[in-house]
Structure 1
Amino acid sequence: MTGPTAPAATWFARAYHEIKRDRHLLLYGNIDDLVLWNDTFQPMTAALPAFLCYVGFAAVARYDLVDGLKYADDGSQGFVESRLGAPAADPAVPVAQPETRRGAQLAESERELLARIGSAGRPVVIRALDMLHASRRLLDQRDRACAMVIDQADLIFGKAGEGEDQYQANLACLRKMITSGEHAPDVDGQPLRNVVVLLATRLSTLPDWVHCNNPHVAVIEIPHPSTTERADFLRGVLGGFHGGAELSPEEVGRLAGTLANLTDGMSILDIQALRATSRLAEIAPTKPRKLVLRHRFGLRDDPWEQLDMAKVVRAEEILSRRVIGQDTAVRTVADVLVNARIGVDFVADPDGSSTQPKGVFFFVGPTGVGKTELAKAIAELVFDDETALRRFDMSEFSQEHASERLTGAPPGFVGYENGGVLTNWMLERPFSVVLFDEIEKANPKIFDKFLQIIDDGRLTDGLGRTAHFSQAVVIFTSNLGASDLAPLMSGYPADAPPPYPVVQEHFRGAVAEYLAQSLGRPELLGRLGSGIVAFDILRADMIAKIVGKFLGQLGASAAARGYELIFDRRAIDKAVTDAVTGNGSALGARQIRSPLLEEWVRRPLNRWLIEHAPPPGSRLWVHRGKGSPPFVVDEFPAEDT
């Protein structure tokens, strides 16, 4: 035999050849899904026994912890039960010698099994250890080629079963089984080795000796269905979608291909559920993107689709109100938001899968110039909610194991059941802005996660859940190059700092050197491309605008309490500018609000108000004084009459 005549999943071919090489099988991964066998999608419980019968096994049995032994057909059942009914003296089942406590436990277990077999009219195998001893008999006989499928192997032999009384006995019996196995005639009379097939969801839960460099065991991953398999399945079920009965054969073929691209990473069972989503939401497959988004993210409104076009057109103006003096950064972000809203892109297939984030940025520049503020402004503009921003301080992820915090610990480790902080957030808030702050402080291993986010737009956590970033904006921030800014500044007069193109080249060069040389990840540099946005240094005109912003907030707050504030703007602007530029702008714009305006204006103002209790409607003058703090508050002089 060379293979089935009808289409089947590709992993069956490898399993076929490994069995012919006399190896037992360990199948893991997407084992709970429907699999393609003989041109139909079937549960693994049906497809795998059918495959083993096709290979040539004359008797096929399957075991799980709930149902015990099941059989591929009546012939298999008759043969297996006849072997289980063998007399107790059968040398194929040697009774363990009670030389040790463990040996005594094994001997007692086997004696109990044989007693049950001798007293029962029809053998019934429920306990795992019963099944293992029965399997040894089948593997060691030479009358008929047999295959034993053990489902839920991770529960029987994995870490979850360590507390069970028979756990060590189960492992000992499994080791015996996979190192043995006689040859027996197959359905055509040709010799075929008796095999055991283990099914598990994850390899990591099983003992290493089962799957690591074990010459007796072939480890085969059961992948999620391919694009071709998804398209084949969709062609058969599209008629059951909302409005699907009205589709022509040509439309069915075209839409099946489109949905197959959009459902990358989904199982066949997920796609079955997609049909239910289509009916419940009354979304026809003729709107494939809308249907898949509804299925993945539920009854959430898509803020990208609802983003007002007029708002997008004015994005640069809106963002500039919060981030002052960073015209290039604001313009770059606004352009990306326009691209995300309109959707025209470099794609071979306009209906293809769009899994990458809506925007990926690398904000780099001095501290306190608006990098985080721009991220908040994006969240407010797109999602009408500044809390849609989630900030991750990468200084907290500097240790080698820190990447596990993002996606969750592997199965069996402490905290595994909690998932990861990043994947949990994205599962809860897929429409959001994700900010990775001070990225240069992260452990280098975390950059593998970042590359996966940028390329694939998804991460899978330790619980097996997939978080999608396709509706998010991802932002990295960094101060790379800021510590080397002083030598650059020293080459220019104090009143004429370097122009923005020089500053931009400096910071972009610092990022390129870090990613390509220090980190050794040039591919990440290539992925970011035009998303690397250099923020300008603070300049005198920028400082004055920021001062005006904060003074405007103070004025509005005072007006709400019945007072009119009049500021000596020239004096305040000069004092703040001198203070900020005097230290080389090391603290950025943060120092403008606190401590400068906090100590010079806000505190004296509130102190004066509580001491003088002016009546509502009073006009107050904040101006230069002679002491400390440098600004004082007085009632505004009355106008000459």
Structure 2
Amino acid sequence: MTTTTPDTPPISGPGVRIDKPEGGRPAPFDGWPAFIREFESTLAVHSQFVFHGNLRDWFLVPGRDGGSTVVPLASLVWRVLERYGYSCLVVYDQVDGFTLFPRTDGDPRRAQERQAVERLLDGSGAKEAGDDKDDPLAQLYERIKAVTQHPELRIGLVVDYASRLVRDSTELSPAEQDFFVGCLKLSETAPRKGGFENRPSPLYNPVVWLVQSDRDLPAWLGDGNVRVRNIAVPSPDLGEREKTARLLVGGAPSARELDEQGRPGELTGRADSAAKEFAAASEGLTLAAMNEVMKLVADRGTGLSSLPEAVRTYKLGVLDNPWRRGYLLDRIRQAETELPARVIGQERAVAGTLDVLKRAVLGLTGAQARRSVDRPRGTLFFAGPTGVGKTELAKAIAALLFGDESAYLRFDMSEFSAEHAADRLVGAPPGYVGYEAGGELTNAVRQDPFRVVLFDEIEKAHPRLLDKFLQILEDGRLTDARGNTTYFSETILIFTSNLGIQEWDPQREIRIVKVTPDQPYEEVIERVTEGVQRHFNLVLGRPELLNRLGGNILVFDFIRPEPARRICDNALGNVLGLVGKELGLTLALSERARDDLLAWCTEDLANGGRGILNAVETGFVNPLARALFERRRLEPGGRLTVTAVHREPPSVELR
């Protein structure tokens, strides 16, 4: 067996210092990450630790000069052990085997201890009996036993990538079962040793398991076992990100003031502002990822002012930003006349939508909040009767912003009424069918972050989904079942609902119509808004979701008679145009035929614009197709006129 001694890999960004391990008396652990202080303070009572969470990051610790520096997790664990006089830290993974910390650095005592540990690891092979010599788990167990049970050497052991030791922690093979039962027994029988520097109580030779999730090891290893402690390693908070941002920004040219001797001192005002903005934009990123963002800025030579845009590029993996295209401003100006012509009869809702889009294009969404950088570009809640243009407006927004209605992504929430349906959006949990496929929502937005996402008829979704929506609205991101984070900061989210139109009467077990077309629009707004508020506040008990929507609830009106005639007239024009395109014929409507069709197709407006289009199909398109089909010869270039239409049965007269 061989052992290697790697260099501690520093973050290779400007302004970041990696201190070498310090000897001597231990310093207080104030200012160290909370999880490592928990580890340090419980060394006397726990023989094994399970670290899970943000393991692959870098961690801030106080530097020699009163500032901060960053180290990886293994080095962080070693710094704790070293201050109490441990001989070394052994790190094991299935690829590289055993790695020893630290280097000898010419220290005779350290060199002797290192040699003793190497002999210990080389000499603690598997049992002689059976095939255990070829069993990696059996060999690892023997070395864990040698480390934890050694009567003299003070050693720590980190088992890295421990999640990959078994295929399924709930269905262990016999060899895996034996391994973890042995480790469980070692945790209970491991002896404590005295004589540590500045630590009067005896300590264990600790074993630290590094896992993605605390469920990756058998539950019974830690349940009810006072010798095993689970410790979550959190993502960095804003304070840690700010310190790291200052370290990274501080290495940029002209980022620091010069003192009287010409040496770099404090950050300049501009650099300090850039660091704070960098930290705020980096929410959800690790400290190591922040360093990668800084590399991206250095590689592109764009300077500190581009840090927020570099964070966006790093998160989304997309260099081009459609929101920064200058022509969007002109398109939205044009939309002030084009959208009302496409979504007829909804001038007020269209105007409210355009206000949201203007904020989105100018980057002012959530400008009133302390932090708005990660929230979706725009959020809209379309409420009102069915068939009045809610879905059509969502499609129009996609075409307006991104030039293509395919950028419009629709989820029918009636398909998500079951509790487990949330798995379709973010992916099935590990061990379930569909886990490898990921989530429909997260996959789609990750592939193209610039989307209009429509959640149709939101009131039909299972309440469990509301937690997902709340996370998107508040944080602008969602983590799927595989641990991948999807960012929604460049999306327009649209929720539609028919709440407030009807109300369920539990006593009579019928639905009561609360809003009708004969009511004025102001009354429709009042009743629909009241229905939406009642549903979220009283029925679901989730007022926080309603609060996130704020003033973006737009109530659509019923299709009134005049807009209905315009919708019908447009539909008739579409039919005539398609006949010309497909058959090469010039088809016209007589004035009488047009008036009759407009009257018949708009007399019942209960189903809104969709009902009008259905009536045009039934009363005009079908009989027209029949009449054209009966003409055996249709010469391209010919001219036909619909001189009359008949309602019962539907038919047309052509001349």
- 1:60-71 maps to which residues of 2 (within 5 A)? 60-71=89-100
- 1:171-186 maps to which residues of 2 (within 5 A)? 171-186=180-195
Contact 2:502 2:515 in 1 (8 A): no
User: Measured at CA, do residues 308 and 178 of structure 1 come closer, stay the same or move farther in structure 2, by a change above 3 Å?
Assistant: same
User: Displacement, 1:51?
Assistant: 2.4
Letter of the structure 2 residue corresponding to residue 205 of structure 1: D
User: Displacement, 1:165?
Assistant: 6.1
Tell me the distance in 2 between the aligned counterparts of 1:212 and 1:501: 60
Letter of the structure 1 residue corresponding to residue 83 of structure 2: Y
Aligned residue number for residue 529 of structure 2? 508
1:49 aligns with 2:86: no
1:476 aligns with 2:490: no
Tell me the distance in 2 between the aligned counterparts of 1:75 and 1:44: 25
Contact 1:234 1:260 in 2 (8 A): yes
User: Displacement, 1:154?
Assistant: 1.2
Secondary structure at 1:622 match in 2: strand
Tell me the distance in 2 between the aligned counterparts of 1:233 and 1:42: 12
Tell me the distance in 1 between the aligned counterparts of 2:44 and 2:590: 89
Query: Which of 14, 20, 36 is residue 12 of structure 1 equivalent to?
Result: 36
Query: Which of 447, 455, 458 is residue 477 of structure 2 equivalent to?
Result: 458
Aligned residue number for residue 556 of structure 1? 577
- 1:590-609 maps to which residues of 2 (within 5 A)? 590-594=610-614, 596-609=615-628
User: Displacement, 1:357?
Assistant: 0.8
Contact 1:329 1:533 in 2 (8 A): yes
- 1:198-347 maps to which residues of 2 (within 5 A)? 198-212=209-223, 214-238=225-249, 244-248=252-256, 249-250=267-268, 251-306=270-325, 307-344=327-364, 347=367
Deviates more, 1:153-162 or 1:408-417: 153-162
Secondary structure at 2:220 match in 1: helix
TM-score (norm. length: structure 2) = 0.83
Aligned residue number for residue 441 of structure 2? 422
Tell me the distance in 2 between the aligned counterparts of 1:453 and 1:447: 10
Contact 1:63 1:70 in 2 (8 A): yes
Aligned residue number for residue 149 of structure 2? 140
Tell me the distance in 2 between the aligned counterparts of 1:621 and 1:295: 61
Deviates more, 1:225-234 or 1:333-342: 225-234
User: Displacement, 1:406?
Assistant: 1.1
Aligned residue number for residue 102 of structure 1? none
Contact 2:78 2:88 in 1 (8 A): no
1:80 aligns with 2:117: yes
CA-to-partner distance for each residue in 1:67-93, whole Å, 9 max, x for gaps?
A: 2222224454334345558899xxxx9
Deviates more, 1:515-524 or 1:602-611: 602-611
Contact 1:263 1:353 in 2 (8 A): no
Tell me the distance in 1 between the aligned counterparts of 2:335 and 2:443: 30
TM-score (norm. length: structure 1) = 0.84
User: Displacement, 1:246?
Assistant: 4.7
User: Displacement, 1:109?
Assistant: 6.0
Tell me the distance in 1 between the aligned counterparts of 2:495 and 2:369: 29
Aligned residue number for residue 122 of structure 1? none
Secondary structure at 1:412 match in 2: coil
Secondary structure at 1:204 match in 2: coil
User: Displacement, 1:198?
Assistant: 1.0
CA-to-partner distance for each residue in 1:166-201, whole Å, 9 max, x for gaps?
A: 211211112112223211024327321232111111
User: Measured at CA, do residues 456 and 87 of structure 1 come closer, stay the same or move farther in structure 2, by a change above 3 Å?
Assistant: closer
Aligned residue number for residue 117 of structure 1? none
- 1:335-374 maps to which residues of 2 (within 5 A)? 335-344=355-364, 347=367, 354-374=373-393
User: Measured at CA, do residues 402 and 56 of structure 1 come closer, stay the same or move farther in structure 2, by a change above 3 Å?
Assistant: farther
Tell me the distance in 2 between the aligned counterparts of 1:38 and 1:68: 31
Contact 2:51 2:230 in 1 (8 A): yes
Contact 2:26 2:84 in 1 (8 A): no
User: Measured at CA, do residues 348 and 327 of structure 1 come closer, stay the same or move farther in structure 2, by a change above 3 Å?
Assistant: closer
Letter of the structure 2 residue corresponding to residue 12 of structure 1: I
1:130 aligns with 2:139: yes
- 1:12-31 maps to which residues of 2 (within 5 A)? 12-22=36-46, 24-31=48-55
Aligned residue number for residue 410 of structure 1? 429
Tell me the distance in 2 between the aligned counterparts of 1:317 and 1:486: 37
Aligned residue number for residue 639 of structure 1? none
Tell me the distance in 2 between the aligned counterparts of 1:289 and 1:84: 48
Deviates more, 1:174-183 or 1:75-84: 75-84
Deviates more, 1:176-185 or 1:417-426: 176-185
Aligned residue number for residue 633 of structure 1? 653
Tell me the distance in 1 between the aligned counterparts of 2:123 and 2:599: 101
Contact 2:568 2:602 in 1 (8 A): no
User: Displacement, 1:332?
Assistant: 1.2
Aligned residue number for residue 99 of structure 1? none
Letter of the structure 1 residue corresponding to residue 409 of structure 2: R
Deviates more, 1:470-479 or 1:481-490: 481-490
CA-to-partner distance for each residue in 1:333-365, whole Å, 9 max, x for gaps?
A: 111001112233664788x55111111122222
Aligned residue number for residue 597 of structure 2? 572
Letter of the structure 1 residue corresponding to residue 476 of structure 2: G
User: Displacement, 1:43?
Assistant: 2.6
Tell me the distance in 2 between the aligned counterparts of 1:482 and 1:167: 59
CA-to-partner distance for each residue in 1:376-412, whole Å, 9 max, x for gaps?
A: 1111111111011111112222222221221112233
Contact 1:357 1:470 in 2 (8 A): yes
User: Displacement, 1:617?
Assistant: 5.7
Letter of the structure 2 residue corresponding to residue 608 of structure 1: A
Aligned residue number for residue 13 of structure 2? none
Query: Which of 151, 173, 176 is residue 160 of structure 2 equivalent to?
Result: 151
User: Displacement, 1:451?
Assistant: 0.6
Aligned residue number for residue 123 of structure 1? none
Structure 2 unmatched ranges of 5 or more:
1-24, 64-68, 103-110, 257-266, 504-510
Secondary structure at 1:219 match in 2: strand
Tell me the distance in 1 between the aligned counterparts of 2:211 and 2:238: 24
Contact 2:124 2:142 in 1 (8 A): no
User: Measured at CA, do residues 321 and 212 of structure 1 come closer, stay the same or move farther in structure 2, by a change above 3 Å?
Assistant: farther
Secondary structure at 1:205 match in 2: coil
CA-to-partner distance for each residue in 1:603-641, whole Å, 9 max, x for gaps?
A: 333343444456666554335445634552333xxxxxx
Letter of the structure 2 residue corresponding to residue 480 of structure 1: L
Contact 2:383 2:555 in 1 (8 A): yes
1:448 aligns with 2:457: no
Secondary structure at 1:221 match in 2: strand
The alignment covers a number of residue pairs equal to: 592
User: Measured at CA, do residues 401 and 225 of structure 1 come closer, stay the same or move farther in structure 2, by a change above 3 Å?
Assistant: same
- 1:35-46 maps to which residues of 2 (within 5 A)? 35-39=59-63, 40-46=69-75
Secondary structure at 1:391 match in 2: strand
Secondary structure at 1:288 match in 2: helix
Aligned residue number for residue 621 of structure 1? 641
Contact 2:500 2:514 in 1 (8 A): no
User: Displacement, 1:330?
Assistant: 0.9
Tell me the distance in 2 between the aligned counterparts of 1:234 and 1:272: 9
Letter of the structure 2 residue corresponding to residue 274 of structure 1: V
Query: Which of 157, 160, 176 is residue 167 of structure 1 equivalent to?
Result: 176
Secondary structure at 1:71 match in 2: strand
Tell me the distance in 2 between the aligned counterparts of 1:464 and 1:489: 45
User: Displacement, 1:445?
Assistant: 0.8
Contact 2:316 2:487 in 1 (8 A): no
Aligned residue number for residue 525 of structure 1? 546
Secondary structure at 1:192 match in 2: coil
User: Displacement, 1:233?
Assistant: 2.9
